[in-house]
Chains A and B, each alone.
Chain A
Amino acid sequence: MSWKPELDELARREAFAQAMGGADKVKRQHDAGRLTVRERLTRLVDAGSFHEVGALSGIGEYDAHGRVTQVTPANCVFGRAAIDGRPVVVVGDDFTVRGGSADASIAEKPLMAEDMAAEFRLPIVRVIEGSGGGGSVKTIETKGASNLPGGIGTTRGFWRMTANLAEVPVVGLGLGSVAGLGAARLASTHFSVMTKASAMFVAGPPVVARLGQALDKQALGGAEIQTRSGAVDLAVDTEDEAFAAARRFLSYLPSSVHGVAPVLPSDDDPQRADEMLMSAVPRDRRKVYKMRPIVEAVVDRGSFFEIGRNFGRSIIAGLARLQGLPVLLLASDPFHYGGAWGAETCQKVVRMVDLAETFHLPVVYLMDCPGFMIGLEAERSATIRHGVRAMAALNQTTVPWCTVIVRNAFGVAGAAHQPAGRFSLRYAWLSAYWGSLPLEGGIEAAYRADIEAAPDPKAKLAEIEERLNALRSPFRSAERFWVEEIIDPRRTRALLCDFARLAEPLRTPGPARFAMRP
């Protein structure tokens, strides 16, 4: 007698899992323009690589003879798979079963996915829809008691949500409406993506309506809101683009903090000298210029992957390659307050610098920063508090740095261009200039008595300005050895590739001295 009856039952039970919430619910998901969780996981990973764990879990129904008639699968699907041939953990919410909420979840499943990522040192991609396994009001009735958030037996998931940020790359994809615990799982990542049709919020429109705010999902937590607020890093048009973004993000990172990122072959000439760089920065210092083409000109062709474009926009941040070596790239955007750092920009710098430190990525900073933001709004938003926090994050890094001063370096924020107290590489373009304060506005403060005492204050101001202008040439600073090198901007790529070669063996696997916070 063989085990054929059990094998048949296994197949039958696996079919329950494949059916998810049933044909009607699957149709509803498709009619709304969204994929099911199983379709999502299949499209996210390398073809045929998904190996599910716990497919049989759910709530079974039995007939009078104890034979199973139906199993409603648990609404978390997870397992291991491969992306670009590298092993990963993927975990997704099944919205076709009770909207992904706790009523139909088995809390151990998403937790095991996180544990597997940590223990096997694998990146984890969370595909999130609904409340992400969080409870609803209905849970009180289904469980017969009210859950204490953070109560006995419930905290390990929250602990992992934080702990994994210091261990493995964590990516979140928000596909559909994402609320409560789902929103927390999406935001508590190194990189988060949502489709433009999706929405994320702490609580959705019906709850918010009780506050007197009549907002639809998009107005409350659409992509425009969440990417501008910095809660989500990237918005894309389709779910397939979200999967592609996740795969691309992971391609720049090691599988865990216990390794270093793979270096890919590059056919881009490290000596490539783009002529455009000689005229990229206008001579008129009031005129702005586009930094993104400069970035493209100096990194490996097509390798720049921007993160958080809509948030903290004075800094352009992302991952790039130099001769195939992944680096974190920061660059100022003069179109946004001349590149001055406000509170949001400082928050972005902290997060990006922490990402680099966590995963041992060398940092390249193309700098044009006239200082911290000034004015009443800047004071109200605690710019200086966030500013010194950004400086602290930068100074706590141990990864190699290379800074290129493209134009401005002024004030305290000007000092935040490489880690203090240790050696880094630094180059200044011919267009660079610096000081404690920009002359414009700074002269009135420093020479007030002289100007007020002069018979013609305006003429006195112009005279002082001319005098100081003659002294602020970067060549005079180089003469004093206050800056190491002034370079032809066309040499930038060659020097950055040289930096990459020097930095590559310095990357040191292991946990960072401090754990990254989301």
Chain B
Amino acid sequence: MPTITVNSEVAGNVWKLLVQPGERVAADQDLLIIESMKMEIPVSTPSAGVVQECLVAEGEAVGEDQPLLRLQVG
């Protein structure tokens, strides 16, 4: 099963994690919300799969292209 990493498109702070490791997610499902420029910007998964690992915690500052979650696709 291939693994993909979901990266942040923007710099900001992790406002809410919406999924946990082990959770099954559907394609386009929101995984977490980044707060950036006072906006809540959801980050979604391009493919369905199972969350393997959350690489960031709520409140953590993230940069552009920083890996946020690892997903096992399928």
Chain A residues with CB under 8 Å of chain B are: 286-288, 313, 334-338, 340, 370, 373-374, 377, 438, 440-441
The answer to whether A334 touches B39 (Cβ under 8 A) is yes
CA distance A156 to B36 in the complex (A): 48
Q: Which 9 A-B pairs have the closest CB atoms?
A: A338-B39, A338-B37, A337-B37, A286-B40, A340-B37, A440-B38, A288-B41, A337-B10, A288-B39
CA distance A340 to B12 in the complex (A): 13
Contacts of B42 in A (CB 8 A): 288
Asked if B11 is at the interface (CB within 8 A of a chain A CB), the reply is yes
Contacts of B40 in A (CB 8 A): 286-288
CA distance A336 to B11 in the complex (A): 9
CA distance A440 to B38 in the complex (A): 8
**29 A-B contact pairs sorted by A residue (CB < 8 Å):** A286-B38, A286-B39, A287-B40, A288-B39, A288-B40, A288-B41, A288-B42, A313-B9, A334-B39, A334-B41, A335-B9, A335-B10, A335-B41, A336-B9, A336-B10, A337-B10, A337-B36, A337-B37, A337-B39, A338-B36, A338-B37, A338-B38, A338-B39, A340-B37, A370-B38, A373-B37, A374-B37, A377-B11, A438-B38
Contact flags (1/0) for B4-21 with A, using CB distance below 8 Å? 000001110000000000
Q: Shortest Cβ distance from B43 into chain A, in angstroms? A: 9
Contacts of B9 in A (CB 8 A): 313, 335-336
Given contacts A287-B39, A337-B10, 15 further A-B contacts (CB under 8 A): A286-B40, A288-B39, A288-B40, A288-B41, A288-B42, A334-B41, A335-B10, A335-B41, A337-B37, A338-B36, A338-B38, A338-B39, A340-B37, A374-B37, A438-B38
Secondary structure dominating the interface of A: loop
CA distance A288 to B11 in the complex (A): 16
Minimum CB distance partner of B44 in chain A: A335
Contact flags (1/0) for B34-53 with A, using CB distance below 8 Å? 00111111100000000000
Q: Shortest Cβ distance from A54 into chain B, in angstroms? A: 46
CA distance A337 to B42 in the complex (A): 11
CA distance A493 to B70 in the complex (A): 41
Chain B residues with CB under 8 Å of chain A are: 9-11, 36-42
Minimum CB distance partner of A440 in chain B: B38
Contacts of B11 in A (CB 8 A): 377
CA distance A313 to B9 in the complex (A): 9
Contacts of A313 in B (CB 8 A): 9
Q: Shortest Cβ distance from B4 into chain A, in angstroms? A: 14
The answer to whether A370 touches B41 (Cβ under 8 A) is no
CA distance A440 to B39 in the complex (A): 11
- Pick the most buried of A313, A334, A336, A377: most chain B CB atoms within 10 A of its CB: A336
CA distance A176 to B52 in the complex (A): 36
Q: Shortest Cβ distance from A191 into chain B, in angstroms? A: 24
Q: Shortest Cβ distance from A107 into chain B, in angstroms? A: 41
CA distance A338 to B11 in the complex (A): 12
Q: Shortest Cβ distance from B52 into chain A, in angstroms? A: 22
Minimum CB distance partner of B10 in chain A: A337
Minimum CB distance partner of B40 in chain A: A286
Contacts of B36 in A (CB 8 A): 337-338
Contacts of A286 in B (CB 8 A): 38-40
CA distance A277 to B21 in the complex (A): 36
- Pick the most buried of B11, B38, B42: most chain A CB atoms within 10 A of its CB: B38
Minimum CB distance partner of B15 in chain A: A286
CA distance A340 to B40 in the complex (A): 14
The answer to whether B38 touches A441 (Cβ under 8 A) is yes
Contacts of A335 in B (CB 8 A): 9-10, 41
Contacts of A373 in B (CB 8 A): 37
CA distance A286 to B12 in the complex (A): 14
- Pick the most buried of B10, B37, B41: most chain A CB atoms within 10 A of its CB: B37
Q: Shortest Cβ distance from B70 into chain A, in angstroms? A: 19
Minimum CB distance partner of A337 in chain B: B37
CA distance A334 to B42 in the complex (A): 11
Contacts of A374 in B (CB 8 A): 37
Q: Shortest Cβ distance from B39 into chain A, in angstroms? A: 4
CA distance A438 to B39 in the complex (A): 12
CA distance A335 to B43 in the complex (A): 9
CA distance A415 to B52 in the complex (A): 45
Q: Shortest Cβ distance from A341 into chain B, in angstroms? A: 11
CA distance A370 to B10 in the complex (A): 16
CA distance A441 to B36 in the complex (A): 14
CA distance A338 to B35 in the complex (A): 10
Contacts of A338 in B (CB 8 A): 36-39, 41
Q: Shortest Cβ distance from B15 into chain A, in angstroms? A: 10
Q: Shortest Cβ distance from A274 into chain B, in angstroms? A: 21
Contacts of A336 in B (CB 8 A): 9-10
Q: Shortest Cβ distance from B2 into chain A, in angstroms? A: 17
CA distance A340 to B36 in the complex (A): 10
CA distance A438 to B42 in the complex (A): 21
